Structure 1
């Protein structure tokens, strides 16, 4: 029976023995819990992280909770576009069953900051870096039957708009607005990628997820990664009626990687008002349902990264 009609058990995941998954930002936050949960399936999990020390701490934490876990580190700086082909090549894998495009940066205060390549920093890290990384991973992904590109968007992105002529918020920069726009661009990329994969006859799927509302104060401690204080836990209790911790926020991405009933072009998020609870299928609507806008974002992203817009996805 399809798992769309039978319960998906977040505590008892199917085996993924022999498979390999890359999680960007897998050393901390929601990405850490995505990696921890995927490691429990018997798969090899690659943590994409800029910081080797933090990645090693995450590896140690996962192994302490998942005996025999297969976890490795990939040095990955999504804000440095010129480094991403080298990073993808250094994986040295013969299969890649999924990449979870999870890593992201959220700046809290002005001024507007730029990457070394001259791009607005959140747009560069959250969107352009993943756009380029997936392009360089595409040959490995499309050579792996039924592989998946899972793009972690944001609940806030669904109510934001995007100007293809000012994708990097040069005219009206506000940190939270620029963040939401970067995540909307990422989600539009994921949908356009799936359209292109289908047109190429590929078995690779591109799927969107979002984590809903996730707070550190509701997140269980992981020694070496992050410890929750007693004060944080107590202060977070009222918020637990509406929001959730990052362990639960990882569930939509984990389901998008593992559930055989998931289809390309779908959006998965928390079941309760899109902000907490078990992972559920959500409608793709609003700006996300505009293929012309997605195609313009793809073209602009290709130009900004210096990549040919017509990837080989066959």
Structure 2
């Protein structure tokens, strides 16, 4: 099947959860999935922002089937009791801090590592009974290739630099996305795990979606040179949307933009380098179970 990012297949009977669906790439994942007729659940801790995002989607997708799930990924106490079943979850929400001070959550974890990785790891465990035969889609980042993980300092307590801490959190998340699929296959489960990344997705190249995102003419002009190599967040959503909908997608795959992994329509990428390190992935998985008290495989029915 020829994949067309602007002519998505119908998914009228499906239900998808998008974490961070109220802003950024997550918003566009939710908007695009809503065009298929599926029910799209926006996972967000801010009800007002979620309401604004849903209003924006409905203005572009008449009859969109949307709901909001109160979800704070920085807290391991978040629940998913409101959900009865799911066909896919897009683990997209994330936080990138630029302050030099290291911050911790109420659970005592470094904020970016907790939100980007541990929160999603625990969430998958809680969603496992609802996802039989469905898909777990992990939105990573190409910046994950630029760092190494210190298993003795996963949360950057000794070596905290915001950009590196962010990249480490995304690397841990992606490694566990690949490891999840290996463990699902080994256990004979039909659910599959797919990893994606959006390439270089900039606000200045992102179309306006008031009041969620507003782009001025000046911002658009200033962003044009970057558009040679990078793209906006609407296009950044394409790999995750394909990973949810395309029947040819398989577990354990990595999907990203076609042009140098930075921009363009989604394509299959080779899982290589640090992403293919099974021993490291297994050790990060084990550490994540210890830190969250949740094992996604043991949570399955």
Q: Same fold (TM over 0.5)?
A: yes
The CA deviation string for residues 204-260 of structure 1, in whole angstroms up to 9 with x for no partner, is 110000000011111000012111011111100111111000000000000000000
Give me the CA root mean square deviation. 1.1
Map 1:257-296 to 2 at 5 A. Answer: 257-296=244-283
Q: For the residues of structure 2 that align with 1:291 and 1:140, how far apart are their CA atoms?
A: 27
Does the Cα contact within 8 Å between 1:220 and 1:245 map onto a contact in 2?
yes
1:136 aligns with one of 113, 123, 126: 126
Structure 2 counterpart SS, 1:89: coil
Query: Which aligned runs of 4 or more in structure 1 are off by greater than 2 angstroms?
Result: 307-310
The unaligned stretches of length 5 or more in structure 1 are none
Q: Judge conservation of contact 1:298–1:309 (CA < 8 Å) in 2.
A: no
- The alpha carbon displacement at 1:171 in A equals 1.4
TM-score by length of 2: 0.98
1:27 maps to: 22
Change (3 A) 1:114 1:140: same
Q: Which residue of 2 aligns with 1:100?
A: 90
Corresponding residue of 1:90: 82
What SS does the aligned partner of 1:183 have? Answer: helix
Aligned twin of 2:42? 47
Give structure 2 stretches of 5+ with no counterpart.
none
Per-residue CA deviation, residues 255-301 of structure 1 (Å, 9 max, x unaligned), is: 00000000000000000000000000001111110111111111101
Q: TM-score, normalised by structure 1?
A: 0.94
The answer to whether structure 1 residue 203 and structure 2 residue 198 are counterparts is no
Query: Any conservation in 1 of the 2:124–2:296 contact (CA below 8 Å)?
Result: no
What is the rounded CA distance, in whole Å, between the counterparts of 1:268 and 1:25 in structure 2?
20
Give 1:58's aligned residue. 53
Name the count of aligned residue pairs: 301
User: Which whole-Å CA distance do the structure 2 matches of 1:288 and 1:241 have between them?
Assistant: 27
Residue of structure 1 aligned with 2:238, choices 251, 258, 265: 251
Do 2:19 and 2:44's aligned partners in 1 also have CA atoms closer than 8 Å? yes
Label 1:309 to 1:215 Cα distance change in 2 as closer, same or farther (>3 A): closer
